[in-house]
Structure 1
Amino acid sequence: MVTLLDVAKKANVSKMTVSRVINHPEQVTDELRELVEQAMQELNYQPNYVAQALVNNRTNVVKFVTLEDIDTTEPYYMNLLFGIAQGLSKKQYAIQLVTDRKQIKEGNFDGYLITGARSSDYSLFDELAKPFVLFGENHRGFDFVDNNNQLGGEIATKYALSRLYRNVIFIGIDVREPFEVSRETGYVNTLQQNKLIPQIYRIPNHSHAAQKIIKENLGKFHHDTCFVCASDRIAIGVVRQLLNEGAKVPEDFGVIGYDGVFLDQVSNLKLTTVKQPIFAMGELLAKMLLQKIEQDGSPQGEAMLKPKLIRRQSTR
């Protein structure tokens, strides 16, 4: 059986260094960590995180708390959960799904991963005694992981202009939360830099709401318009209603979504969309929380991953 000492000899370092790489990787240099990890891989050494948890009085359980109603078969959340599970498995942590607010503090666990938070929930986080990381940007200083929503709005708007659409309209979600405000800000800033006037509609995040806004306002929308949407769900509704009205997509009207998780590919015309790196964000959430647990709740800051534009049939 391979031991810690075997790894230390293979990497030509001390047992203490190997232990730090396993338990406190932030305390060693990247070069030293890579050296030890390579030795562990070559020797097929597997740290016993369960035993370490017992020594440190931990449970190796993390609660995944969702503060909004979700369908667990929704591709967006499935990708996120798989990413989180991948990240937690590296240190043999289990995940417990919590959808009832009354159960947030119940049971034995080491920390929280929280999604679906709104500004009204911030007071709840101040009451939590155990480490937590949010999925979704916030302006209260809580640790979080998200994609760069403002950059995503900029990418979508710049692309619409590059395809020579003369009018670019933003259809956002009717919540004044940081992620939505940031996407809208990216759109507004880009138009203003190009000396164009922003046009914004805000609706519930449902395809039928998007269809309604198109049906009621189609006469106001000039040909050569591209709709930059705050979600793929909204974009699907926009495309559907444009086609129902006999409009030419993408020749006269372009549509750009946001998310890039399955829905963009099942639209009647496959959506051009801003794709979030959902799986990678899930992994990073797990990594950040586990590091926070190891560091007894020390702040971890924020991490925003870069989204990318996927070009498909809904734009020319």
Structure 2
Amino acid sequence: MTTLNDVAKKANVSKMTVSRVINHPEQVTEELRALVHAAMKELNYKPNVMAKALANNRTQIIKLLILEEMDYVEPYYMQLLVGIANELDKHAYGLQLVTKRNTQIGDSDGYIVCGMREADYEWLNTLEKPIVLFGENTHGYNFVDSDNQKSIERAVDYAISLDYERIIFVGVDVNEPFAISREKGYLSAMERHNKYVSMFRLENRSKYSAAFVRENWETFVPNTAFICASDRLALGIIREVKEQGGSIPEDFGVIGHDGVFLDRIAYPYLTTLKQSVDKMGAATAQLVLQKINASGSDQGNILFDTELKLGGTTRLKKNQIHT
């Protein structure tokens, strides 16, 4: 059986260095970590997880709390779970999915929290272990999220580059940081382009955005682009514009936000700002482990750029091909 000494000899480092790489990776350089991990892989050395946990007074468990309703149709949270779980596995950590009312069942080393709303923060403040949020917040918690403001700015810039004259923003009607940031992105870009602002807030369901188009159809003129704060809202816009006889993308353009699944079931395929949910999940796992190893101290926030994913709901530029 391969031992710690074998790994140390293979990597040409001390046994203490190997131990630090396994138990306190933040205390060694990236070069040393890579050297030791390569030796461990070559020798097929598996650290004793239970011994590591006992030595560090750890459980090797991270609890994941999802505080909003999950829609079984969308794979958004599945992608997130895969990103988190795969990253935790690299560090010999297990993932436990729990509900709000069961957070105190069993111990853990920290929490990842998703889908929080303003009303949840009083309760979150009672949790004693390190916490990282998946989603921006204004309460001082470290978080990982898309750069929501920059993302919508990019959508507006793109719509204007396609010569759409009127740019309408359809936002999510919640007083939460992600929604506010997306509105700020729209307002900032419209001001920069000296364009007339036209902004609406709706419940995040396609039936409400469809009703919005139906009830206001006579006010919408050709050469209009709808920038939507979610793909759900964009689907309703597409459906009702076609129902009313509007031409997409020639007369009416639609750009969504998220790019997880719904953009692929739209017809035509939806142009959207795609979030890298699996990579964001991995980053969230890394951040909570850093926070645990740093005794809960502040580790900063991580913002991801979104990717403009072209579909058939916006016009083509010259030399441009929809995917």
Residue type at the aligned position of 1:52: K
Q: Mapping of 1:213-252 within 5 angstroms?
A: 213-252=212-251
Which residue does 1:62 correspond to in 2? 62
Structure 2 unpaired stretches of 5+: 316-323
CA distance in 1, matches of 2:73, 2:211: 27
Residue type at the aligned position of 1:295: A
SS in 1 for 2:139: coil
Which residue does 1:183 correspond to in 2? 182
The CA RMSD over aligned residues, in Å, is 1.5
| Residue 249 to residue 73, structure 1, CA distance change in 2 (3 Å) | closer
8 Å CA contact 1:23, 1:294 repeated in 2: no
CA distance in 2, matches of 1:89, 1:200: 44
Q: Which moved more, 1:28-37 or 1:186-195?
A: 28-37
Which residue does 2:296 correspond to in 1? 297
Residue type at the aligned position of 2:132: V
SS in 1 for 2:248: coil
Q: Which moved more, 1:232-241 or 1:182-191?
A: 182-191
Which residue does 1:40 correspond to in 2? 40
8 Å CA contact 1:157, 1:191 repeated in 2: yes
Matched, 1:273 2:264: no
Residue type at the aligned position of 1:70: M
Q: How far did residue 204 of structure 1 move?
A: 0.3
8 Å CA contact 1:171, 1:230 repeated in 2: yes
CA distance in 1, matches of 2:72, 2:86: 17
Which residue does 1:192 correspond to in 2? 191
SS in 1 for 2:225: strand
CA distance in 2, matches of 1:60, 1:31: 25
8 Å CA contact 1:49, 1:91 repeated in 2: no
SS in 2 for 1:284: helix
Q: Which moved more, 1:21-30 or 1:111-120?
A: 21-30
Which residue does 2:117 correspond to in 1? 118
Q: Which moved more, 1:288-297 or 1:269-278?
A: 288-297
Q: How far did residue 252 of structure 1 move?
A: 0.3
CA distance in 2, matches of 1:48, 1:151: 44
Which residue does 2:15 correspond to in 1? 15
Residue type at the aligned position of 2:274: K
8 Å CA contact 1:260, 1:273 repeated in 2: yes
Q: How far did residue 299 of structure 1 move?
A: 2.0
Q: Which moved more, 1:21-30 or 1:237-246?
A: 21-30
8 Å CA contact 1:50, 1:92 repeated in 2: no
CA distance in 1, matches of 2:38, 2:150: 36
CA distance in 2, matches of 1:191, 1:278: 28
| Residue 21 to residue 72, structure 1, CA distance change in 2 (3 Å) | farther
Q: Which moved more, 1:231-240 or 1:68-77?
A: 68-77
Residue type at the aligned position of 1:55: A
Which residue does 2:129 correspond to in 1? 130
CA distance in 2, matches of 1:19, 1:71: 43
TM-score between both structures, scaled by the size of structure 2? 0.93
- Identity of aligned pairs, percent? 51
Q: Which moved more, 1:247-256 or 1:45-54?
A: 45-54
Q: How far did residue 223 of structure 1 move?
A: 0.8
CA distance in 1, matches of 2:96, 2:73: 16
Any idea what the Cα deviations from partners look like across 1:253-273, whole Å, max 9, x if unmatched?
000010001110001211000
Residue type at the aligned position of 1:248: S
8 Å CA contact 2:23, 2:56 repeated in 1: no
8 Å CA contact 2:259, 2:272 repeated in 1: yes
Kindly report structure 1 stretches of 4+ aligned residues shifted beyond 3 Å.
none
8 Å CA contact 2:109, 2:130 repeated in 1: yes
Q: How far did residue 72 of structure 1 move?
A: 4.8
Which residue does 1:103 correspond to in 2? 102
Residue type at the aligned position of 2:249: P
Any idea what the Cα deviations from partners look like across 1:255-314, whole Å, max 9, x if unmatched?
001000111000121100000000011111112112222232222221111111100111
Structure 1 unpaired stretches of 5+: none
Any idea what the Cα deviations from partners look like across 1:187-207, whole Å, max 9, x if unmatched?
111111111122100000000
Residue type at the aligned position of 1:51: A
Any idea what the Cα deviations from partners look like across 1:37-94, whole Å, max 9, x if unmatched?
2222333322222321122232222211111121355311111111111112112322
Equivalent residues, number: 315
TM-score between both structures, scaled by the size of structure 1? 0.95
8 Å CA contact 2:147, 2:305 repeated in 1: yes
Q: How far did residue 237 of structure 1 move?
A: 0.6
